[in-house]
């Protein structure tokens, strides 16, 4: 329960992306973002539930690679958001044109590679799965 509570109260990149797109495009156009995020999290969870986490946790090389890839990814995301100049118009005039497919893939890739979500799924694996 503590892991779930910490995960819920700390918004990650997928939630921030959904909020950004909802503010930018309006609530009616954010559905592909929500769908992409949901599918990405389901796939990440399935990999962990399928036993991939056991291999990563038992191998020092894979665990180290996973950690440093996660660090690099978070640094890249942070720098991207710091240096990206984007104005969000909250007036309600939806003049930004982004395809639903673009919104889906953006959210899907963000969710399936989200280190916070993957760590949550890894910590949620029952002890009987650990080697």
Cβ(9)–Cβ(78) below 8 Å: no
C-alpha 95/C-alpha 104 separation (Å) is 19
14-67 pLDDT, tens per residue?
888 888 888 888 888 889 998 998 888 888 878 777 776 676 667 788 878 877
**Type and span of the H or E element at 47:** helix 31-49
Give the residue with greater pLDDT, 118 vs 104: 104
69-115 pLDDT, tens per residue?
878 877 887 788 788 776 655 555 555 678 889 999 999 988 888 77
Token pair 């700390």: residue: 10
pLDDT on residue 7: 60
Q: How far is CA 26 from CA 11, 60, 121, in A?
A: 20, 45, 31
């Amino acid at each position: 329960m503590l892991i779930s509570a910490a995960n819920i109260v700390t918004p990650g990149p997928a939630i921030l992306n959904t909020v950004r797109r909802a503010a930018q495009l309006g609530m009616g156009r954010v559905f592909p973002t929500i769908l992409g995020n949901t599918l990405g999290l389901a796939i990440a969870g399935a990999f962990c539930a399928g036993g991939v986490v056991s291999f990563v946790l038992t191998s020092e090389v894979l665990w180290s690679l996973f950690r440093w890839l996660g660090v690099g990814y978070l640094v890249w995301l942070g720098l991207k958001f710091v240096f990206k100049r984007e104005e969000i118009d909250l007036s309600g005039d939806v003049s930004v044109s982004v395809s639903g497919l673009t919104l889906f893939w953006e959210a899907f890739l963000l969710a399936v590679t989200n280190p916070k979500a993957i760590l949550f799924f890894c910590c949620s694996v029952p002890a009987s799965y650990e080697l």
